């Protein structure tokens, strides 16, 4: 499977805002409000697809951060970093596609910002995602609590990253 990325469109944002995950992952469900749609259309988000099938999206920058992480000091510790957030379409989660999906996204990030470290924030209950991130070399650097949910901030240096085809074998 070969993935490609493209900018988020209104049609994509409308569909993504209606994705419904099973518990406990329903924590990641969005709503169809104008605020949610506008966030997806902010310019920080890109879709990831294969053929015409949308498999997920990713975002970079402040959109990838949990706002209360700033109050906890979770995002102060590194310079030269790209914050990354990802979301996979619910029906594709748990199907063994995460490695190829993340490999594609990381290659996009590295091609856009070759010298930056990559940082992401994940809810600690999401053990499936954490295992995937660890396989890609992400390591925890801090934790904070927001609305009763504990989040883990993880980073990964970009130097010496293998090419996408090697990542997809993980």
Task: Take residue 170 and report the two structure tokens written for it.
Answer: 């993980």
Domain extent for 119: 4-167
Asked whether the predicted pLDDT for residue 21 surpasses 80, the reply is: yes
pLDDT at 157: 79
Mean pLDDT of 4-31: 95
CATH number at residue 84: 3.40.630.30
Residue-wise pLDDT tens digits, 66-116? 998 999 889 986 678 999 999 999 999 989 899 999 999 999 998 888 878
| Residue from 82, 77, 141 nearest 114 by CA | 82
Helix (H, G, I), strand (E, B) or coil at 47: strand
Residue-wise pLDDT tens digits, 30-62? 999 999 999 999 999 999 999 889 999 999 999
Record the pTM.
0.89
Number of domains in the chain: 1
């Amino acid at each position: 499977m070969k993935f490609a990325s493209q900018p988020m469109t209104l049609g994509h944002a409308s569909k993504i805002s209606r994705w419904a995950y099973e518990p406990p992952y329903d924590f990641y469900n969005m709503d169809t409000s104008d605020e949610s749609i506008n966030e997806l259309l902010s310019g920080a988000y890109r879709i990831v697809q294969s053929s015409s099938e949308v498999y997920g999206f990713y975002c970079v920058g402040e959109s990838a951060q949990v706002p209360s992480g700033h109050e906890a000091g979770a995002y102060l510790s590194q310079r030269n970093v790209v914050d990354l957030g990802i979301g996979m379409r619910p029906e594709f989660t748990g199907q063994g596609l995460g490695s190829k999906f993340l490999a594609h996204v990381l290659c996009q990030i590295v091609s856009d910002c070759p010298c930056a470290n990559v940082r992401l924030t994940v809810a600690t209950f999401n053990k499936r995602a954490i295992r995937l991130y660890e396989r890609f070399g992400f390591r925890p650097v801090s934790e904070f609590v927001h609305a009763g949910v504990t989040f883990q901030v993880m980073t990964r240096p970009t130097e010496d990253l293998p090419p996408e085809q090697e990542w997809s074998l993980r």
